[in-house]
């Protein structure tokens, strides 16, 4: 097989149970973006089997796919532009985020067409300055009590939860609690309040409320290695291993330029391996030689530019690797996902979510 991802569903289940044992809140498993590249439906089913009470997605299309595949757990979808199919969402009992007055009106209208009372989670902007009610909040309060929706939840999102010592976290929480009191003041009392993402779940108990939303931590990765520690130190097990086949192995002499633009020239005689993956598969084009693969019992760093369908690694002159060998790109005994993220100047979230759909997922 040219390239494939191994997903350890037992690791995902173990991560959920580990975190669940540390909190008193219900667990919402965030499975947006194809479950961070791990596979939407298999991960959703594994997560609910492991004790997650809720599922969270960005897009309604993701929620529809879950329902179409027999997933009956409560689902909230929070990135729903005005053109979204709210009627179908309501018919399928998918909870909807309300970030604006316009959304409230559209969801109300869709509920009338569906003949059902929509379930909504009010989203407030507490400092992320992204989604959620901000300047419309005062007007929203005059409308919500007489609206034709069922307010199930109230929520917001931290901007810097992966920096636990930042005062911004305290400020956001203060605003959040103030907005909640104002909502109570107009006679609306949501059953579920949720604010904590993975980082806040791990580091900010004051933000836990009735639900915590597990994203990156559920997949066994640290929200930020520098500020919060590694997966291992957090008691998490990474669930993804990326493998690929060596297209060929070749001996090259000193002074050989490698890849497009000849950006690297070999400093000695060596052996190169051509890995049958590239940036079309999700390998970052700007990866440095701080990342690579594990093959024949050794690490082999990348060399030269990543191409669309392949990249080159320096195996070393004494390597026993051969054409057709399977290399571990990251995970398992290979380079970590965090090492790949550092080598590409990005975050572990991007490394796992960018692995293309043309790379098959195999589930343990």
For 178-230, the pLDDT digits (tens) are 999 999 999 999 999 999 999 999 999 999 999 999 999 999 999 999 999 99
Note the helical H segments in 145-217. 167-185, 198-203
Neighbours of 325 (CB within 10 A): 17
341: tokens are 């993220």
239: tokens are 């669930």
Neighbours of 88 (CB within 10 A): 15
> Percentage of residues in the chain with pLDDT exceeding 90?
99
Q: CA–CA separation, 132 vs 174, rounded Å? A: 16
Of 2.40.37.10, 2.40.110.10, 3.30.720.110, 3.20.20.70, the CATH number of 240-363 is 2.40.37.10
36: tokens are 């961070």
What residues does each domain of the chain span?
Answer: 9-221, 240-363
Mean pLDDT score, 225-237: 97
Please return the burial class of 85, using the count of CB atoms within 10 Å of its CB with bins 0-12, 13-18 and 19+: middle
What is the average pLDDT value for the chain, to the nearest integer?
98
Catalytic residue of the set 112, 184, 260, 364 = 260
Q: List 150's β-bridge partners, or say none.
A: 119
Q: What pLDDT shows up at residue 171?
A: 98
Q: CA–CA separation, 202 vs 214, rounded Å? A: 10
Q: What pLDDT shows up at residue 99?
A: 98
Q: How confident is the model at residue 162 (pLDDT cuts 50, 70, 90)?
A: very high
Q: Which of 52, 53, 95 is closest to 76 using CA atoms?
A: 95
Residue written as tokens 């000849």? 262
Q: What pLDDT shows up at residue 318?
A: 96
Catalytic residue of the set 32, 87, 237, 271 = 32
Q: CA–CA separation, 299 vs 329, rounded Å? A: 10
Q: What pLDDT shows up at residue 267?
A: 96
- Cα 324 to the chain's mean position, in Å? 32
- What sign has the CA pseudo-torsion 191, 193, 198, 202? negative
Q: What are phi and psi of 254, to 5 degrees?
A: -55, 145
Neighbouring residues of 189: CB distance < 8 A, sequence distance ≥ 6:
151, 183
Q: What pLDDT shows up at residue 248?
A: 97
For 110-148, the pLDDT digits (tens) are 999 999 999 999 999 999 999 999 999 999 999 999 999
158-163-165 Cα angle (round to 5)? 105
Please return the burial class of 101, using the count of CB atoms within 10 Å of its CB with bins 0-12, 13-18 and 19+: middle
Asked if 364 contacts 39 with a C-beta cutoff of 8 angstroms, the reply is: no
CA of 301: how far to CAs of 75, 315, 359, in Å?
42, 8, 22
Asked if 206 is an active-site residue, the reply is: no
Q: What pLDDT shows up at residue 206?
A: 97
Q: CA–CA separation, 141 vs 272, rounded Å? A: 64
For 249-301, the pLDDT digits (tens) are 999 999 999 999 999 999 999 999 999 999 999 999 999 999 999 999 999 99
Asked if 246 contacts 325 with a C-beta cutoff of 8 angstroms, the reply is: yes
For 22-43, the pLDDT digits (tens) are 999 999 999 999 999 999 999 9
Please return the burial class of 341, using the count of CB atoms within 10 Å of its CB with bins 0-12, 13-18 and 19+: buried
For 307-327, the pLDDT digits (tens) are 999 999 999 999 999 999 999
Asked if 364 is an active-site residue, the reply is: no
The CATH code of the domain at 9-221 is 3.20.20.10
Q: CA–CA separation, 19 vs 199, rounded Å? A: 11
Mean pLDDT score, 333-342: 96
């Amino acid at each position: 097989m040219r390239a494939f991802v191994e997903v350890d569903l037992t690791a995902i289940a173990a991560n959920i149970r580990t975190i669940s044992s540390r909190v008193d809140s219900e667990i919402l498993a965030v499975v947006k973006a194809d479950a961070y590249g791990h596979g939407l439906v298999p991960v959703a089913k594994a997560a609910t089997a492991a004790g997650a009470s809720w599922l969270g997605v960005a897009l309604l299309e993701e929620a529809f796919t879950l329902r179409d595949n027999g997933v009956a757990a409560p689902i909230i979808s929070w990135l729903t532009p005005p053109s979204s199919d709210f009627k179908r969402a309501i018919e399928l009992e998918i909870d909807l985020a309300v970030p604006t007055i316009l959304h409230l009106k559209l969801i109300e209208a869709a509920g009338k067409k569906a003949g059902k009372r929509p379930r909504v989670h009010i989203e407030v902007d507490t400092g992320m300055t992204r989604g959620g009610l901000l300047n419309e909040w005062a007007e929203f309060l005059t409308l919500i009590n007489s609206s034709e929706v069922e307010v199930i939840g109230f929520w917001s999102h931290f901007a810097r939860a992966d920096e636990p010592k930042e005062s911004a976290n305290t400020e956001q929480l203060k605003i959040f609690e103030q907005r909640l009191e104002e909502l109570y003041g107009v006679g609306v009392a949501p059953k579920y309040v949720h604010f904590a993402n993975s980082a806040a779940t791990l580091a900010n108990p004051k933000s836990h409320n009735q639900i915590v939303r597990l994203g990156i931590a559920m997949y066994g990765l640290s929200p930020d290695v520098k500020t919060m520690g590694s997966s291992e130190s957090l008691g998490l097990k990474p669930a993804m291993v990326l493998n690929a086949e060596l297209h060929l192995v070749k001996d090259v002499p000193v002074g050989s330029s490698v890849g497009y633009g000849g950006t690297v020239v070999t400093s000695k005689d060596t052996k190169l391996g051509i890995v049958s993956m590239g940036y079309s598969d999700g390998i970052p084009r700007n990866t440095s030689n701080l990342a690579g693969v594990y093959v024949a019992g050794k690490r082999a760093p990348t060399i030269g530019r990543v191409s669309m369908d392949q990249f080159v690694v320096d195996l070393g002159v004494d390597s026993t690797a051969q054409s057709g060998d399977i290399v571990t790109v990251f995970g398992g005994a290979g380079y970590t996902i965090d090492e790949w993220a550092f080598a590409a100047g990005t975050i572990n979230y991007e490394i796992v979510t960018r692995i293309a759909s043309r790379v098959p997922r195999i589930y343990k």
